[in-house]
Structure 1
Amino acid sequence: MSPLPGTELGAIFDSVAAHLPTFEVAHTRGAFADADSIRNLLGAAGFREVDVELIAVEAIWGKDLADATEFLFEWGPVRHHRALAGPAADDEVYAAISAGLEPYLTPDGVRMPNTAWLTTATAPLP
């Protein structure tokens, strides 16, 4: 299962997972996984007027294909699972990332949609 289902980054991670059997990124679980979880966490911490909105933006992932590929290749979770698998999988992982990013290569760098939770809240005064 993709760690980021329905997203461009999730599709790239799916191709990485084909070469790293233990690969998993837990963005779809935990306290920041969805709007309700974020609201509950911040509400329990005393915040009020919690507003959570899923936004999509075009993110710049690197100045060129090699730069963007290296960024994801060395990203913490990918690096960790590469270490678990050993160096034999590195070439395949690098190629999978590069192939996944290639459709997003523009003259201005690698630009790919990204999503995030835009969250605002009010902290009570002491």
Structure 2
Amino acid sequence: MGAELNHTIVWCRDKQHSARFLAGLLGLPEPVLFGPMLVVRLDNGVSLDFYQREGRIAAQHYAFLLDDDTFDRAFARLREQGLDYWADPGRQRAGELYRQHGGRGCYFDDPDGHLLEIMTRPYAMGG
């Protein structure tokens, strides 16, 4: 089989709020409770397991590859919610999409300050 990502824990302050935020924005099924975690399953079988904790949350980056139609719907939801978004991870190009690798994308914050990215084409890995 080789190596594949199966799941990752996403630390958060309110797992209900954070997991539903992501699932709703990406148009995914309702999160499912698994032990102390609330799980959001992506279409490729990878899951993001939201684990609630007190105190400081170290910000992470999570990028989601979407087809064009799913991107359009997710981006519309992002704008409907009045969320800030940027064309760069340094948050310098506010209110813009990036256009790289023949696709589109943007960055935005989730409720816990994780930097999320939605994109329509994977990054070109030159060889």
**Structure whose CA Rg is larger:** 1
Which structure: greater strand fraction? Answer: 2
Q: Which has the higher contact order (CA 8 A, sep 6+)?
A: 1
TM-score by length of 1: 0.30
TM-score by length of 2: 0.30
Which structure: greater helix fraction? Answer: 1
